[in-house]
Amino acid sequence: MSLTNAPRPLRSVLIANRGEIACRVMRTARRLGLRTIAVYSDADANARHVREADEAVRLGPAPARESYLDIDKVIAAAKLSGADAIHPGYGFLSENAEFVAACEAAEIVFVGPPASAIAAMGDKASAKARMANAGVPLVPGYHGEAQDDALLREEAGKIGYPVLLKASAGGGGKGMRVVESDREFQAALDGCRRESRAAFGDERMLIEKYLTQPRHVEVQVFCDSQGNGVYLFERDCSVQRRHQKVLEEAPAPNLSPALRQAMGEAAVRAAQEIGYVGAGTVEFLLDAASETSSSEAVHFYFMEMNTRLQVEHPVTEMITGEDLVEWQLRVAAGLPLPKAQDELTLTGHAIEARLYAEDPDNDFLPATGTLERFGLDPNAGGLAPERVRLDSGVEAGDDVSMHYDPMLAKLIVHGEDRGQALAEMDRALAALDVSGVTTNRRFLQRLVTHPDFIAARLDTRFIEHHHDDLFANEPVTDADIARAALVALDRLDRASDERSPWERSDGWRLNAPQHVRLAFAEAEGTPPIPVVATRSASHSTWQLSVNRNGEESNHYEGKLQRLDGDAVAITLDGHRRRLLARTELSAGGETIILTAAGFESRLIWRRSDRVDHLSHEVAAKLSAPMHGTVVALLVEPGQPVEKGTPLVVVEAMKMEHTLSAPAAGAVEAFHFKVGDAVAQGDELLAFASAEATEGV
Ligand code: ADP
């Protein structure tokens, strides 16, 4: 049934959000024939969600309080544009009961649960009381009304340390602290109260037993206004930083079908207990120790219910083949759920990685800037497009401001099983072409290739426990440096080709440098690592010597072949690798970035290379001007010579031609001996000039 002749007809929807979720919701709304209306703050006037919408209405200045969180302005925008419904996305006003009431008052359909259901789950303490009623298991703890310090401390003692203090009104990990012992209790309580008062204007606390190695497993539920409820299986979101999710997957690894069903049914009971309608997520903690046992022996505990669509909903879409936004819109229009429980199936495995504009190596500090490039590089090898989804709210050229959440996009992959999904994710992350803004891309790659993640040894402190591996500065090998050098050499050649394109007509680079000294640094301020490159006589390969800290040099023979776009094939001593090669300007020079699945190397190319520069004219003199014979070598290799010193004599057509030093320097090697025949264009010798020359 179309949404236009549903019990509550929908022809248009306003999305009271921004970024990737606004774009995501509009995609389905458009497919269902709805007119889409975006809202925006001044910081987002030209944002992607505004560009993609049929209409867009300005809310106000950049701060969320004056724009996306301003209920009156959002309602006014809906009236102005004649929106039949408002989809709140996640965050912002999505779990605000007052906003739902305002929609009702304005006779606009709110795509989400009734205000009463939001209110019931909005407070963690009263939510726990309701859940206990519905027979949903709770973490042992205290969630009573009495709040005096002595009583709370006594309750904590009864529960047994460690305990977790949580703000009743809390969310987003705020007002939450682990308390290890009775001695620390008072200080932690004071701290949590302060935080909670500042963030939520409320200082009520609850206490829970702190599970030291739990998994975060949540169940997707859906209810319609006819009283039907189903669960669309679960997601494991154990990999978190600062209690915020980084990787999510569905289904949860190693969950027995019995436990899956028990959790699913408990989640539907939880939703129905509060008269839920729409998409919701019931979050549970799972005792990691009991994950493979049967449902009777396993402990899972209700944590909270999120009364909205979750960031990580795409992994559920991928394993069920359902469009959850479509379900939301249908339910909001008063239609029944599209499927019953026994019609829902679970196929394969899906993983989502959240791409944040942040610096993992700097305590996940949010990053800002202008995205120079953004997207999945189609030239990356081995990607299966039908298995990969990139949900983003940005495009190249967009600004990333400090006003909103730093999440830029979500990369979601699907595989026949978890192993395939992991491999797909690794490749997709390598193909993610993003520059201009620091992101956690490389960190995500390290996560998905970590042996314990691959083995699904998951718990909510995964990142903390594997800190050393995940944040390790990967050692840069000499081979990495040699590969970067080949990229640099290719850039130099390209630059000189552009300057004198006719040189390429016979495939013979008359003026290309034969000897280049390059320098790389692992990071700004680290000592330069010199590389000496010598082009082979055939011009197809380079001999490279990498010399670190005066240690013995490592020698390589390498070549680079350009493929499509940024893709290159680099062969080093017979080992060919397909990589994406990019350069980014940085303070210390140009950073050469090479990526492949599970691999990234970044090296700063110090652009004060000493290129033994052979100008067109000079080079011509060092190559045989025509077919002939070498008749004299006039200097010894290595002997210092002045510019203009005669070096070699070639006889051709009965005339002698003398080639002279193009600059002060020395002949490194003669490639022919007296009596040898040479062809026109043959390089006769390798010359190193004493003077450094910038660039080519
Ligand atoms: P918020 O609403 O602030 O996000 P939650 O109650 O959802 O807070 O908890 C957030 C995260 O904190 C969970 O995903 C989990 O990692 C951790 N957590 C919450 N309760 C416990 C507990 N009792 N024991 C151990 N970890 C917990």
| Residue that wins the pLDDT comparison between 434 and 506 | 434
Whether 114-138+214-347 and 348-472 share one fold: the answer is: yes
Structure confidence at residue 625 (pLDDT): 66
CATH class of 114-138+214-347: alpha beta
Q: What is the DSSP string of 91-130?
A: STTTT-HHHHHHHHHTT-EESS--HHHHHHHHSHHHHHHH
Global pTM? 0.81
Ligand 1 pocket mutation, candidates 303, 304, 310, criterion most atoms within 8 A of CB: 303
Domain 348-472 has CATH 3.30.360.10: no
Report which of 329, 389, 440 is spatially closest to residue 20, judged by C-alpha positions: 389
What gap in Å lies between CA 423 and CA 440, rounded to an integer? 18
Torsion of CA 268, 269, 275, 281, to 10 degrees: -40
Structure confidence at residue 503 (pLDDT): 40
Across 155-159, 167-171, 499-503, which has the greatest mean pLDDT?
155-159
* Ranges of each domain in the chain: 3-111, 114-138+214-347, 140-209, 348-472, 478-607, 618-694
Percent of the chain with pLDDT over 90: 68
Please give the distance, rounded to the nearest whole angstrom, from the Cα atom of residue 216 to the centre of ligand 1: 8
Across 441-455, 535-549, 663-677, which has the greatest mean pLDDT?
441-455
pLDDT tens per residue across span 599-651: 889 999 987 655 544 433 344 457 776 678 888 888 888 888 887 788 888 77
pLDDT tens per residue across span 453-491: 999 999 999 999 999 999 877 788 999 999 999 999 998
Residue 631 token pair: 């008749």
Mean pLDDT of all residues belonging to the chain: 89
| Residue that wins the pLDDT comparison between 194 and 584 | 194
Mean pLDDT (whole number) for 528-551: 86
pLDDT tens per residue across span 291-349: 444 444 668 999 999 999 999 999 999 999 999 999 999 999 999 999 999 999 999 99
pLDDT tens per residue across span 107-116: 999 999 999 9
Q: Give the CATH fold of the 618-694 domain.
A: OB fold (Dihydrolipoamide Acetyltransferase, E2P) (2.40.50)
Phi, psi of 308 (to 5 degrees): -165, 180
Distance of CA 532 to the CA centre of its chain: 35
Q: What is the DSSP string of 216-243?
A: EEEEEEEE-TTS-EEEEEEEEEEEEETT
Domain 3-111 has CATH 3.40.50.20: yes
Nearest CA to ligand 1 atom 2: 171
What residues does ligand 1 touch, defined as CB less than 6 Å away?
Answer: 139, 164, 166, 170-173, 176, 208-211, 214, 216, 240, 243, 283, 285, 303-304, 460
Q: Give the CATH fold of the 478-607 domain.
A: Glycoprotein, Type 4 Pilin (3.30.700)
Structure confidence at residue 385 (pLDDT): 87
Residues 6 or more apart from 146 whose CB is under 8 A from it? none
Phi, psi of 544 (to 5 degrees): -125, 130
| Residue that wins the pLDDT comparison between 662 and 372 | 372
Please give the distance, rounded to the nearest whole angstrom, from the Cα atom of residue 244 to the centre of ligand 1: 9
Residue 511 has, within 13 A of its CA and on its CB side, a CA count of 18
Structure confidence at residue 292 (pLDDT): 47
CATH number for the segment(s) 140-209:
3.30.1490.20
Among 204, 308, 446, 582, the one annotated catalytic = 308
User: Which whole-number Å values give the CA distances from 84 to 35, 55, 73, 378, in the listed order?
Assistant: 10, 14, 16, 39
Across 361-365, 437-441, 659-663, 674-678, which has the greatest mean pLDDT?
437-441
For residue 379, pLDDT beyond 90: no
Mean pLDDT (whole number) for 417-421: 97
- 177 is known as an active-site residue: no
Please give the distance, rounded to the nearest whole angstrom, from the Cα atom of residue 303 to the centre of ligand 1: 7
